[in-house]
Structure 1
Amino acid sequence: MAPVFLDDPVFWALHVLQIGVIGLTDIEEAFGVDIAYAEELENQMFDHNHWPVFTVPLRSTGNIHVIYRNLDGDMGLDYVLTYPDLPHDLGLAAVAADFVGPGMSWPELLTIANHPPAAGDRTRMDAASRLLILLPALGDADLPDTAVPTVAAALSELTSSPDPDHIAETLLHNDKAYWRPATWEQLSNGATVCDEPRSRRYGVPWECTTDQDVAVTRALTGT
């Protein structure tokens, strides 16, 4: 765990930029940060000898581990789901050279952000933190009108952006550098799958079995 980063507005600026959208190249203008300090913090975040890991507990007793995979020659941001009903840890999404995703829909992201485990979230993450730490794993073509103001509110709380509404709009609606926004559907067995072939949740046997698709949905939604 890397709790020291969670209180730093510059960390959150650097983290959401992992989404890879076009149009947010000037971090100083977009987030009001000092470039020299941002470069210093970025070196810490991507240090080959220290892999920051953030754990988001789920209501389902599962966890999503957000891992800065700082392997020399194989850098990436991994979203790994652990859940008792899964036979092994599952890589929900990977922001890396070989992209895997999206990992979740907007309703799932919002559920995780707004409904921490009943026993309390011991990771020092509030709703805004949970939303932004998981945001790079999102991919949803059917975002509601409330999505931009919801992300903007989280950005306003955690960053120093002078224009969080513009940043939220860009993060959610500009073309991404990796997977396209996916269309999600719930199957008759309760599993939620998408139509993006890069996703583990594409709904075909060579990605996840039917039982695993159901387990992932239950893990993320707490049902």
Structure 2
Amino acid sequence: MITNNQNGKNAKSSPSILTLLKAEHVSPKLCLVKLVVLDQFPFHVLAKSTEIQKGWIARGVKISTTEKGMKEMVMSFGEEMKSEIKKHLKLEKGNGRKFSLSLDKWTSCGNKRYLCLNVHTINKDYGVGIIRINGSVKAAGIIQIILEKLQQFELDMKTDIVAFDTGSAFVMRKISRLLGIEHQLCYNHGIHLAIVDVIYCVSNYPPQ
């Protein structure tokens, strides 16, 4: 039988919800980046939401409450991650590893175009950035964008890259011919196009 005294002891030893929230160390920058990138909260929403800010305080996380301050934190985190990736790639390169690339060009709902570039080793993948594309860019222009991005991570297309993977767009096939390295077309992209063609195809013949 549990006495009132024992109940009191148990109640005192039980941590409060705030204690549990504070128990795990959370990086303020990482917390903010997850809200912006993964949960897709705009900066102005986070700056105006007192409830979200109370949650930060409860977890002991110090995050700026202004849009400008939040943007600076996110950009700072990006630079830190870039340095970390650069360090890992340099280590892989020093061990004699070669790399492959995967890239895709896409257009956002806001009609803004981007190029996503990833670097791969035999056991790890590195997202090296999403590059904004302004205006019309042909194959040679995309190659230049890729070369500049690789240079930021001290990688050379001729000596470090052995292959790359893309969708089956004409411009990507032309990039392959210009680079002269192993090119693998993405099977998922091909299957997607085939399914779309079958399900959403428009018949040229009038209904019977």
> Please, what TM-score do these two structures have when normalized by structure 2?
0.26
Larger Rg: 2
> Please, what TM-score do these two structures have when normalized by structure 1?
0.25
Q: Which structure has greater helix proportion?
A: 2
